[in-house]
Amino acid sequence: MSIFAKRSESEQGSRGHVSLAAGGPGRPFGIAEAIQLLRSLPTEQNSELIVRVVRTTLESLNVHLSDIIDDASRKQQQTEERIAAVQFQVSDLEKQLETLRQEIVGLEADLKETTDVKERLEMADKAGGDAPRSESGQTLGYGHGPPPVPRGARTPG
């Protein structure tokens, strides 16, 4: 049976609409089915004639264009609302990205400062070769244990 074949009263939907193959049993022919139908037709070739044939055929099957247009309006509204919701999500994610980018800038500045201070301290450590070192290479001096005891001196004890 073709998509344009007329169906009996028992095959019509609950609102008196014909249930065409694309719409399924009991489901009215809506904008989704109209889109699918028009996609399958060669609308580039005399689109005005194609639309008139589709309109006449649908009306002969008790499918009212006003119902399809109302369904299209509902779909447009739902789609616009979804677009707005997704745009809001994108905006929120962009704000989060900017916050994270600022955090990266701060962390990079902290890393640079830490690296610079570490390099200075390493240079100072190498330049301070006058300080006595233990056998393991650690610098001995004030703040790193007791000061060295001269040879022959007695330790308190």
Whether 103 is in a domain gets the answer: yes
Summarised one tens digit per residue, pLDDT across range 69-85 is 999 999 999 999 999 99
Summarised one tens digit per residue, pLDDT across range 58-68 is 998 899 999 99
- CA pair distance 23, 64, nearest whole angstrom: 14
Q: Are residues 88 and 39 in the same domain?
A: no
- pTM, 2 dp: 0.53
**Contact at 8 Å (CB) between 22 and 58?**
no
Q: How many domains does the chain have?
A: 2
Q: Are residues 5 and 52 in the same domain?
A: yes
Whether 69 is in a domain gets the answer: no
- Per-residue confidence (pLDDT) for residue 14, from 0 to 100: 38
- The ranges of the chain with pLDDT < 50 are 1-23
The values of phi and psi at residue 18, to 5°, are: -75, 135
Task: Give percent of the chain with pLDDT exceeding 90.
Answer: 45
Q: What is the mean pLDDT of the chain?
A: 78
Q: Are residues 50 and 97 in the same domain?
A: no
State the residue range of the domain holding 37: 1-63
Whether 145 is in a domain gets the answer: no
